[in-house]
A and B are shown apart, each in its own frame.
Chain A
Amino acid sequence: MSNFFPRWANWLPLQLLVCGLVIGGPITLGIWYYFTPKYTRVGYQPDQPVPFSHALHVKQLGMDCRYCHSFVEVAGHSNLPATQTCINCHGQGKILPNSPRLAAVRDSWETGQPIPWVQIHRLPDYAYFNHAVHVNRGVSCYSCHGAVNEMSVVYEAESLSMKWCLDCHRAPENFLRPPSEIFNMNWHPASPEAQRELGTKFKEEWKVNPPVNCGGCHR
């Protein structure tokens, strides 16, 4: 019986394999690299209706986070300020009463309609995050939101992925801060060792025991 398959067919499986690797490999790599919150979420910096600068208000003026985000210590949701909080200082006869950059604030104040701020840090609706629990137990704003005091326009600095949450829930001693420094955006541990030592102490003192089971965040 003559050869049923031509001679080149001997190499066909190997060729197919190499071809698959050469095409499939880069595609897999591309998905691995780009299809993650580290790429899709980090760096999201939308235009806001009011060009509010955290760098100006926090770094230059030294205002506390809680002047505006007033209920972050008692509520699960860290509130955006009411328009009145802006008007406290930017009302008629006060600071920059007629600035065009504050037009949306004045409109809101006159009409009673909220300022349509664009939400940046957005967890999936099936993850339940509680701000109060975190800031009352040594997790700083900085740990999740980055150096907001340096941002003229706020962007998302961390991925907020589930793995990222678990990194801290499994080893909170790497992030816990002294209670007086939670809202101090300029505080940094002297060294990773010093942080671990401090963190371990606080973890024991405050009995910090973050949940790592599904029900902890997905109820």
Chain B
Amino acid sequence: MVRYFLFLLVLITILVVSIAGLRDYSFLPHKTKRPPIEIFPDMVRQDKVKAQAPSDFYDDGRGARANVAGTVPVGYSAPESSAQASEGVATMGSPYSVVVFSGKQDYADTGKIGTNWGNGIPFSATMATLERGRERYQIQCAVCHGATGAGNGIATKYGLVGVANLQQQRIRDMSDGEIYNTIVNGKNTMMGYGSVIQVPDRWAIVAYMRALQRSQNATINDVPTANRAALTGTNAASATTGAAKP
């Protein structure tokens, strides 16, 4: 009697473990498509709308609602103030405490002065601005335009054609406002990135793009006189030894 009972116990244990698996997924994976079991979900799943979650309350089933015409963004601050604020905390994380977007119509938000494209960054660009621009450029732009802006990003290796080479004279001559507008609204096959890049970041990207354009077309006259000797010296040395310079 006891023997049967113990036998049954061992059998059930083996059965449970072999069906349920071990919880250390790296040893015996139990990847599953079944949603996690929640035994008392009353407080765990509340009847409130969370970000990007669906809602049965509305006919279209969406929790997030589109803006009503004329909506003013909460907490919007002009690029000037956030650029100043960013200098103190540039070493760590995002310089913004709020999402910085605007529906305003001045130069900083549209890239236009009157009906023409304007030129210049609408706040004082510092090294921190350029570093921020580099970071944002590498996240959002380099995928197609490439790290140097030569229009050879990774997406072009997978069949994306018609990507602009940002080093072209046409784009070097383009005004800052028009480039800003291209970032926001797109152009030709490029779609607008205005919904994912905040206003000061757009200008930071424009500033960084200008730096890229200068860097790819630099001459010896752009090098500070103190450092020229070192550069020309290396060039002369490599020329005489025939070493390949990248």
Contacts and interface: CB of A to CB of B under 8 A. Distances in A.
Nearest to B45: A125
B72 interface: no
Contact of B51 (A26, A34, A61, A77): A77
A26 B13 CA distance: 8
B245 interface: no
Looking at chain A, what size class is its interface with the partner chain? 35 or more
Contacts of A114: 62
B23 A34 contact: yes
Contacts of B113: none
Contacts of A113: 60
Contact of B191 (A30, A40, A43, A87): A87
B158 A95 contact: yes
Contacts of B97: 74
A67 B143 contact: yes
Contacts, number: 126
B160 A89 contact: yes
Contacts of A85: 196
Contact of A38 (B23, B140, B159): B23
**Interface SS of chain B: helix, strand, loop or mixed?**
loop
A39 to B, nearest CB: 4
A63 interface: yes
**Contact size range, B:** 35 or more
Given A26-B9, A61-B143, A89-B160, A94 B23 contact: no
B138 A82 contact: no
Interface stretch (A5-13, A129-137, A188-196): A129-137
A44 B143 CA distance: 31
B20 A34 contact: yes
Contacts of B33: 45-47
Interface stretch (B35-43, B165-173, B206-214): B35-43
19 contacts: A33-B23, A34-B23, A38-B23, A43-B29, A43-B30, A46-B35, A63-B143, A66-B139, A73-B93, A77-B50, A77-B51, A79-B52, A80-B52, A85-B196, A88-B191, A89-B155, A116-B54, A124-B43, A137-B93
Interface of A: 22-23, 26, 30, 33-34, 36-47, 61-64, 66-67, 70-71, 73-77, 79-80, 82, 84-85, 87-89, 91, 93-96, 113-114, 116, 119, 122, 124-126, 132, 135-137, 155, 157, 179, 206
3 smallest CB-CB distances across A and B, nearest first, come from A136-B93, A77-B51, A73-B94
Given A85-B196, A136-B93, 13 more contacts: A23-B9, A43-B25, A44-B35, A61-B155, A61-B158, A67-B140, A74-B98, A89-B155, A94-B189, A125-B45, A132-B94, A136-B94, A137-B92
Interface of B: 5-6, 9, 12-13, 16, 20, 23, 25, 29-37, 43-46, 48, 50-54, 60, 62, 91-94, 96-99, 138-140, 143-144, 154-155, 158-160, 189-191, 195-198
